[in-house]
Amino acid sequence: LFHYLQSALAYLVPPVVVVFLLGLFWRGANASGCFAALLGGHAVSAVLFLLSLLELLSLHFTIVAGLLALASLVIAVVASNRGAPPASEQISRYTAQRSDVPAAAGLAWWQDYRLYSVLVLAVATALVAVHW
């Protein structure tokens, strides 16, 4: 059952993750590029899924996720570069910026996002080490 859940997520999630990360970290990503990545990524996903159902292609779900993420990334970058980038006023609140970091410098230690980032990384590393 868990294998089927992982396989389903490997076919469905990568285009969404690519669009989210591009929207967060790349100012050149636009709506048409992200929409094309979602459509194209899920189309490639459907083709790979049909090929695996017909037993013409046998790929592990982690490889499927990587291939779909790469295909979605290429589609998003190409489609975004063909269109105009969004205006900086539209995206300034939603994209990561270096100017956000000094604003956190005056906060108390327990309000610093870096502490929680390190804690999440440590817990994830411990979980992987325990279940390796």
The share of the chain scoring above pLDDT 90, in percent, equals 57
pLDDT per residue as tens digits for the range 91-118:
777 777 777 666 666 778 788 888 899 9
Question: Which positions ≥6 away from 78 have C-beta within 8 Å?
Answer: 33
Q: Rounded to whole angstroms, how far apart are CA atoms 123 and 17?
A: 22
Most confidently predicted of 1-10, 73-82, 103-112? 73-82
The closest of 29, 17, 24 to 66, measured between CA atoms, is 17
pLDDT per residue as tens digits for the range 65-76:
999 999 999 999
Contact 42, 15 (CB under 8 A): yes
Residue 11 sits at the vertex; the CA angle it makes with 10 and 15, to the nearest 5 degrees, is 95
Domain range annotation of the chain = 2-97, 99-132
Per DSSP, the chain holds a count of helices (H) and strands (E) of 7, 0
Question: Which positions ≥6 away from 40 have C-beta within 8 Å?
Answer: 15, 71, 72, 75
Question: Which positions ≥6 away from 18 have C-beta within 8 Å?
Answer: 37, 41, 69, 72, 73, 76
